[in-house]
Structures are given as C-alpha cells and as structure tokens.
C-alpha cells in the first residue's frame, strides 16, 4: 500500500487527461494517459470519472491529489477563480481550491492581454512554473515562452513570475481548414519543403485570409502537388503567428523557449529560426509534471 508521502498529480485538459503517482522524492511511480478531457464530461461527472478512471486504476484512492488544467473551469469539476498576472508559484499555491477532501486544483491565470481584451490560461501556468523550477537560474531572468497547441500561448516571464501572455488559435485554425475548408487535405507525411514554402509565404503575418488562398491557387493554378497542402498551410499559419505574435508582448525575444510536444515544437523552432530567433525546446509533459510536483511541495 502506498505510504502517506506518495501523491497523485494530474493535468486534466479539455481533450485529455494525464495523471501520475509520485513517490516522496517526486519520482514517477505510475502514469496514466486518457482521451478523457473535461470537454466531454457531463455536468457533475468529473468526480466519478476521477475516482473510477484515475484513482482506482492508479491505486491512489487515499493519496493527496493535485490537479491543473481545465478541470478548474466551468467545464470541469470545480471552478477555481483565475489569479491575476503577474503571478508566481507562491501565488498559485495560495490560490488552490479543494474539489473534494484531499483533492486540490491549481488556479488558472488571467492577464490583461496586449490586444485590448483580458486573456486566460488553465494548465499552461503549471507547465511554465515547472519549467522555471527545473533550473533555479531561470527564476532570476526574463524569458519569452511559447506553448504551441490548439490555442498557443505566448508568455512573458520575469523574475519567476508570469507577467503577460497572449493566445493564438493557430492550431484550431489549422484543424478547421484541414477538415472543413476548400483547403481540406488528408494528414500527410512530413513535407519539409512545403512547410518551408509556407513559412516564406507568411510574410509579416498580415493578410492571412489572402495568403491562405495561395495554398489552393498554388495547387490548382501553380502546379504544386495537392498532397503538399497540409504542410504548406501549417508553415503559413505558424509562420504568420511567429512573425507577429511575439511582438505583441512588447518583449524583445532573441530566444524563445518552446514547451510542448516534440514534433510541434520542432515546427515552431523552424519558424523561429526563419525569423532569426533562436529556440529551445522543453518537453511539455516533463514541465507540467515538474510544476505539479513543485506546487504540491509548497503547501
């Protein structure tokens, strides 16, 4: 039986759930990965799912648990109020809320975005603070991070606190265009040349609706192979994001840290290089795990 120093941590997003049991030293004992995001839950279902599909299979029913992500939203288990930026690990730890006895949820963050509307995140704050926790020197400097995905976050971090961020729905646009638009195309194997052509076609990130149409005209009137469309559109969208979004933060970014899945981070790194910005990639799962372990240690 697990001892009291063991604990359960969980990143529960809109489409996915990942959970780990950790020993007293923070080492992973077991891992669970389910396509069981809160976006697919009926109201009130989160507690039952957590118990039956996470706690029981991991043998972690009695362990203290710490959760982050959309599980703290209105879609999730219990709505945990957003904290205002700037915020660091101590603030997040202080803002946790209990969903059930022994089960706490990390709050999301709310920032005054650079585009005239407030912006929000749930889950990314834990990844970012985990990345900071991996190397104490990071807590002293200024950083620009990008967390690619359905709704990519660009984040300015200073002195260990998340200062400002902005969201770009690049991943969602890509999925929409590939599924429902005149540009729709099956998923293709990597086509580095077409991705690079898309990056070049992104220009300064303006006139996106016109640039996107060239993904069609380059095929129907320009002789490009139809099966290069997905990679071209990916390059165009990521290129347009990288060309314009970091500047919105007002942060000079000679280097951007990418937190996320390796393949997608690799595409963003290529786009950053195209714009003479160097990139460092950190695995997103490692970051969220480090963040949950650290936040669990604070309280």
Q: Does residue number 208 form part of the binding site for a copy of itself (CB under 8 A)?
A: yes
Considering the rule CB under 8 A, would residue 120 count as an interface residue with a copy of itself? yes
Q: Which token pair is 226?
A: 């139809």
Residue tagged 């209105």 (tokens): 74
Q: Rounded CA gap, 145 and 141, in Å?
A: 12
Residue 125 within binding range of a copy of itself, rule CB under 8 A: no
Grouping H, G, I as helix, E, B as strand and the rest as coil, residue 280 is: strand
Contact 234, 174 (CB under 8 A): yes
45 is a contact residue toward a copy of itself (CB under 8 A)? no
Residue 209 as a binder of a copy of itself (CB under 8 A): the answer is yes
Computed from CA positions of residues 250, 111, 157, 243, in that sequence, does the dihedral angle turn out positive or negative? Answer: negative
**212 is a site residue for a copy of itself (CB under 8 A):** yes
> 41, 100, 248, 281: which one contacts a copy of itself (CB under 8 A)?
248
47 touches a copy of itself (CB under 8 A): no
Query: Do the strands 161-168 and 152-158 form a parallel or antiparallel pair, or are they unpaired?
Result: antiparallel
**SS3 at position 266:** helix
Task: Give the C-alpha separation, 155 to 216, whole Å.
Answer: 33
Options 167, 228, 257, 294; binder of a copy of itself; rule CB under 8 A: 167
149 interacts with a copy of itself by CB under 8 A: no
Number of residues located near a copy of itself, criterion CB under 8 A: 52
HSE-up (13 A, CA, CB side) for residue 144: 19
Give least dist CB 80 to a copy of itself, A: 14
Out of 52, 207, 226, 298, the residue judged to bind a copy of itself by CB under 8 A: 207
| Interface residue list for a copy of itself (CB under 8 A) | 82, 110, 113, 115-120, 151-152, 154, 166-170, 172-173, 176-177, 179-182, 200-201, 203-214, 217-218, 220-222, 237, 240-241, 243-245, 247-248
């Amino acid at each position: 039986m697990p001892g009291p120093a063991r604990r359960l941590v969980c990143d529960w997003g809109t489409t996915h759930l990942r959970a780990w049991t950790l020993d007293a030293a923070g080492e992973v004992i077991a891992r669970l990965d389910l396509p069981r995001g809160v976006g697919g839950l009926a109201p009130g279902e989160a507690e039952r799912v957590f118990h039956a599909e996470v706690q029981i299979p991991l043998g972690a029913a009695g362990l203290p648990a710490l959760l982050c992500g959309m599980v703290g939203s209105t879609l999730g288990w219990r709505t945990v109020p957003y904290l205002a930026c700037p915020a660091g690990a101590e603030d997040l730890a202080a803002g946790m809320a209990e969903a059930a006895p022994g089960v706490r949820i990390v709050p999301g963050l709310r920032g005054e975005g650079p585009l005239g509307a407030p912006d929000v995140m749930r889950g990314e704050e834990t990844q970012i603070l985990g990345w900071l926790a991996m190397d104490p020197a990071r807590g002293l400097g200024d950083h620009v991070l990008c967390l690619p995905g359905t709704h990519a976050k660009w984040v300015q971090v200073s002195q260990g606190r998340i200062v400002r961020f902005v969201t770009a729905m690049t991943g969602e646009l890509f999925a929409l265009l590939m599924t429902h638009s005149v540009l729709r195309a099956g998923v293709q194997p990597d086509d580095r040349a077409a991705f690079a052509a898309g990056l070049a076609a992104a220009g300064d990130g303006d006139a996106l609706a016109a640039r996107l149409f060239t993904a069609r005209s380059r095929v129907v009137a320009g002789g490009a192979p139809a099966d290069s469309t997905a990679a071209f559109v990916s390059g165009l969208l990521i290129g347009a994001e990288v060309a314009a979004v970091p500047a919105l933060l007002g942060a000079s970014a000679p280097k951007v840290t990418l937190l996320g899945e390796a393949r997608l981070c690799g595409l963003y790194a290529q786009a950053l290089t195209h714009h003479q910005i160097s990139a460092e990639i950190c695995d997103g799962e490692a970051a969220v795990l480090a963040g949950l372990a650290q936040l669990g240690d604070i309280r």
